[in-house]
Amino acid sequence: MDYSLLKELQSIQAPAGDEAPLRDFIIDYVEKNKANWKVQPELIYGDEFQDCLMLKFGTPRTAIFAHLDSIGFTVRYGKELVKLGGPRLLNGIKLVGEDSKGAIETELVVDEETKAISYKLDRDIDRGTNLTFKPNWREDEDYIQNCYMDNRLGMWNALQVAETLEDGVIAFSCWEETGGGSVGYLGKHIYENWGVRKALISDITWVTPGVPHGKGVAISMRDSGIPRKSYIRKIIEIAKNNKIKFQLEVEDAGGSDGNSLQKSPYPFDWCFVGAPEDNVHTPDEKVHKEDIADMVQLYKVLMRDL
């Protein structure tokens, strides 16, 4: 399997609230490659959708939601930083960005007593500048490891599915890592224009004692959100009928774009379906290649059969 697109996606800085560069990259990628796809999608974006993007294929029945944004940090005053989302605070993590004085490479500094966070650099960075993890791609026979598997892998999965998708919607959303904010109006457009009420959340979950590496893509039966059980049963049945390796996840915390869909005024059924990763919200997120392959395969049959 070719992971070059995934590696490129992970190199693009797009923390929550600053997703436009990544959206524009996807627009360019789709325009260059869609002639080779089974169905050429309609691209839907613009000011009314802020920095989001939708790809509409044929006559949609189901929507894939994949968030564009990543976690990171914002420069405050002096050398202080504030978190964007929930990054792990580990001394010495390499951070990159750009301000009016040029490209930035620095390190995270965590005060062991107060847990205050700052950066190490011989100059002050412009106030409001976003910093993100420096990419460091590592690959062996079984695993891929880098920053922002969450959620560049979810996006990559959606773009793999796009190559053969005949009927469906792919919605690239914003702000998921900081509590959502775009899924409501994306869901409104998808429901009111095409009558779509089924959704899959293409995102990355975490490795736990119950959901280990290499045992298949995780189908989440619940986290802090509670999807409808009858819909989950359909997804499990399709996975079984197609002999795709999967694991059932049951958690009481965490959330995704599915939570925002559930809180919207539209009757969406949704399910989080994604590969598990280790070292969550660090520069060293690690995913098993077999779980990635199972994720792509399951999404393809779900978009066909749901």
Q: Which domain-ending residue is among 114, 133, 152?
A: 133
| In a shared domain, residues 212 and 266 | yes
| In a shared domain, residues 142 and 129 | no
| In a shared domain, residues 56 and 85 | no
Low-confidence ranges of the chain (pLDDT < 50): none
pLDDT 10s digits, 123-170: 999 999 999 999 999 999 999 999 999 999 999 999 999 999 999 999
Instruction: Specify the CATH number for the domain of residue 95.
Output: 2.40.30.40
CB atoms within 10 A of CB 201: 30
Which range marks the domain in which residue 125 is found? Answer: 72-133
Determine whether 148 is exposed, middle or buried from the number of CB atoms within 10 Å of its CB (0-12, 13-18, 19+): buried
At residue 267, the pLDDT reads 97
At residue 180, the pLDDT reads 82
| In a shared domain, residues 274 and 295 | yes
Its pTM surpasses 0.95 = yes
At residue 254, the pLDDT reads 87
| In a shared domain, residues 252 and 113 | no
Q: Which domain-ending residue is among 92, 109, 133?
A: 133
Q: Identify the DSSP state of 223.
A: S
| In a shared domain, residues 152 and 291 | yes
| In a shared domain, residues 184 and 116 | no
**Which amino acid is residue 22, in one-letter code?**
L
Cα–Cα distances (Å) from 110 to 20, 80, 121, 124, in that order, read 30, 10, 14, 17
pLDDT 10s digits, 211-248: 999 999 999 999 999 999 999 999 999 999 999 999 99
The total number of structural domains that make up the chain: 2
Dist CA 151 CA 298 (whole Å): 18
Q: Which domain-ending residue is among 90, 116, 133?
A: 133
At residue 140, the pLDDT reads 98
Q: Do 40 and 56 contact (CB within 8 A), yes or no?
A: no
Instruction: Specify the CATH number for the domain of residue 181.
Output: 3.40.630.10
